[in-house]
Amino acid sequence: MQLRTDLALELAETIDQAGGGISVSEYDKGGAKISRIKLTSDDSAQSIGKPKGTYITITVPPFSDDAELGDELLMAVKDEFTSLLPKEGLILVVGIGNTSVTPDALGPKAAAGILATRHISGELARSAGLENLRPVAVLSPGVLGQTGIETGDIIAGIVKNIEPAAVIAIDALASRKLSRLGCTIQIADSGINPGAGVGNKRREISLSTLGVPVISVGVPTVVDATTLVFDLLGEDGARQNKELIEPRGAGMMVTPREIDILIERAARLVSRAVNCALQPGIPPEDLLVLAG
């Protein structure tokens, strides 16, 4: 029975970590619970099914319940971004997903809130009092079904032309637990496989394919039907009811009823945290005005 998840924390929970190559630290900050997993060996990466790298899981109050983004929470998420970003250089922010499908709209909606600054320089920057802006470019490439072009190919072409120091890729994720939908943020420095969590794996977007570091960030918005049954009934109950789920249920994805609110608020927190990490010299309230 295949249990789909994009969260390294959930995958780490299912294996024996005694073999080495996996380090886990947990701490509380700004009203969030943060778990940092580092995969440092090929064996640890293979056991989890994720590339080597750092995976940060931030558990926050449910987006569907809390309309306010407290400053402490915002700064906690910002600090985790900062820890993975290169200190200087152009950053390309990519919002991956489909705005026509609400659970998949996190990336484009978050990208819409990112302050693009690559074009602001020289006299324009000086006259606006923004001389110390970090250059940032923003892209929402759509999905293969809309463009006929692999998202990874679009990003690779732009990376080749503008030569960023790193790419930030924002995408919706899949979880294996209902309890993590809409209250979890994962940040990783290992790249991303768009669509992997929903069985629609596309071209990998990573250092190996682009030639620059890729920092991925996402919020789980769906659980597939088979995984949901496993979560609710346990392994024995899921196996006993397997014939009621498959084959038709194997392709079904479940999302919360309040997904519209969840996406709007999650996108707002992610975009604001990314803006604060990229432009630390500008107060968050000013960034909110500048980014529109």
The predicted model gives 259-264 an average pLDDT of 95
Highest mean pLDDT among 132-136, 142-146, 174-178, 185-189: 185-189
Instruction: Please say if the pLDDT value at position 189 is more than 80.
Output: yes
Least confident of 11-25, 71-85, 101-115, 126-140: 11-25
- What does CATH list as the number for 8-278? 3.40.50.1450
pLDDT tier at 197 (50, 70, 90 boundaries)? Answer: very low
Band (pLDDT 50/70/90 cuts) for residue 199 is low
pLDDT tens digits for range 61-119: 988 886 666 889 999 999 999 999 999 999 999 999 999 999 999 999 999 999 999 98
Check pLDDT > 60 for residue 198: no
Peptide bond before residue 247 is cis, with ω within 30 degrees of 0 = yes
Q: How many angstroms separate the CA atoms of 51 and 47, rounded?
A: 10
Is the pLDDT at 220 greater than 90, yes or no?
A: yes
* Structure-block tokens of residue 104: 């998949």
What phi and psi, each to the nearest 5 degrees, are found at residue 264?
-60, -45
pLDDT of residue 224: 82
36 in Cβ contact with 185 (< 8 Å): no
> Where do the H-state alpha helices sit in the chain?
8-12, 42-48, 71-84, 106-111, 122-127, 144-147, 151-162, 207-210, 225-240, 242-245, 259-278, 284-290
